[in-house]
């Protein structure tokens, strides 16, 4: 069975500081990995995804993530936080199309950006 | 494209009443997912359809929950009878076969009192 662990349910960063959100997964097959963002009272929006190929993936809004198979990790980073980055972030894993593209989500990390 | 459309956005109902949540997937998408989000359990997959056929309903919590997809452009999630512990945000998502990305609706916030 797949599982996703996000370390830290809340993260507080200063505007302009590095954002680092941690995600570790377990999967029995090479995984597809995703980061989604959820703004208050909104649905989930895809930030970026890893399926195959280059392990450093760039997404929207200046975010990027690196797939490290040896560490079973897919941590999300952004060099300089902006006030608009305040939201909840979810890491997710799927086994791909053969498993119906079902997503298993981590518990989420809420990001607070301080001015 | 209007994206995945869910209705209603908010629903307040009394315990024991029937509740029906609705979803219109993105046109052309052939996979549809229902997720539930709660503080205690996070985001959970309830059921998913492929080409209108339910493929995996192992996440449906009880027989009180049922889902249908009568055609490619419409799905419902029904709870009968509803209970306070069903209070949650219910999301519908759709994707296109061959594409790993799922697109989410804005959710229905259900409160059962």
Q: Is the pLDDT of residue A1 over 90?
A: no
Each residue's pLDDT tens digit, A4-32: 999 999 999 999 999 999 999 998 777 89
- What is chain B's pLDDT, residue by residue, as a tens digit (113 residues)? 689 999 999 999 999 999 999 999 999 999 999 999 999 999 999 999 999 999 999 999 889 999 999 999 999 999 999 999 999 999 999 998 777 789 999 999 999 99
Say if B63 is an interface residue toward chain A (CB within 8 Å). Answer: no
Over residues A79-108, the mean pLDDT reads 89
What pLDDT score does B16 carry?
A: 97
Contacts of B12 by beta carbon, 8 Å cutoff, 6+ apart: B110, B111, B112, B113
pLDDT > 90 in chain A, percent: 77
Average pLDDT value for chain A: 92
Residues from chain A contacting residue B90 (CB–CB below 8 Å): none
CB-CB contact of B13 with B110 (8 Å): yes
Minimal Cβ distance to A97: which of B35, B98, B105: B98
Mutation for B interface: A45, A46, A101, most B CBs within 10 A? A101
What pLDDT score does B1 carry?
A: 65
What pLDDT score does A47 carry?
A: 96
Minimal Cβ distance to B106: which of A42, A94, A97: A42
Each residue's pLDDT tens digit, A35-58: 999 998 889 999 999 988 899 999
Mutation for A interface: B10, B100, B104, B107, most A CBs within 10 A? B100
CA distance A100 to B45: 12
Say if B49 is an interface residue toward chain A (CB within 8 Å). Answer: no
CA distance A73 to A82: 24
Q: Are B56 and A103 in contact (CB < 8 Å)?
A: no
Q: Is the pLDDT of residue A100 over 90?
A: no
CA distance B55 to B43: 19
What pLDDT score does B4 carry?
A: 96
């Amino acid at each position: 069975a797949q599982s996703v662990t996000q370390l830290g349910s809340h993260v507080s960063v200063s505007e302009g500081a590095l954002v680092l959100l941690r995600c570790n997964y377990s999967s029995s097959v090479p995984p597809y990995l995703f980061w989604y963002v959820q703004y208050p009272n909104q649905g989930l929006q895809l930030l970026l995804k890893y399926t195959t190929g280059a392990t450093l993936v760039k997404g929207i809004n200046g975010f990027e993530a690196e797939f490290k198979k040896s560490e079973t990790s897919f941590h999300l980073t952004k060099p300089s936080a902006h006030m608009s980055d305040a939201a909840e972030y979810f890491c997710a894993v799927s086994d791909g199309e053969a498993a119906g593209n079902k997503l298993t989500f981590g518990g989420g990390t809420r990001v607070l950006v301080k001015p | 494209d209007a994206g995945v459309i869910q209705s209603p956005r908010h629903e307040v109902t009394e315990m024991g009443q029937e509740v029906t949540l609705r979803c219109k997937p993105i046109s052309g998408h052939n996979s549809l997912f229902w997720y539930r989000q709660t503080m205690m359990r996070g985001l959970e997959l309830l059921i998913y359809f492929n080409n209108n056929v339910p493929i995996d309903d192992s996440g449906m919590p009880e027989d009180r929950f049922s889902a249908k997809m009568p055609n490619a452009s419409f799905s419902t999630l029904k709870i009968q009878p509803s209970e306070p512990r069903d209070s949650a945000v219910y999301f519908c998502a759709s994707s296109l076969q061959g594409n790993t990305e799922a697109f989410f609706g804005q959710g229905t916030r259900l409160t059962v009192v």
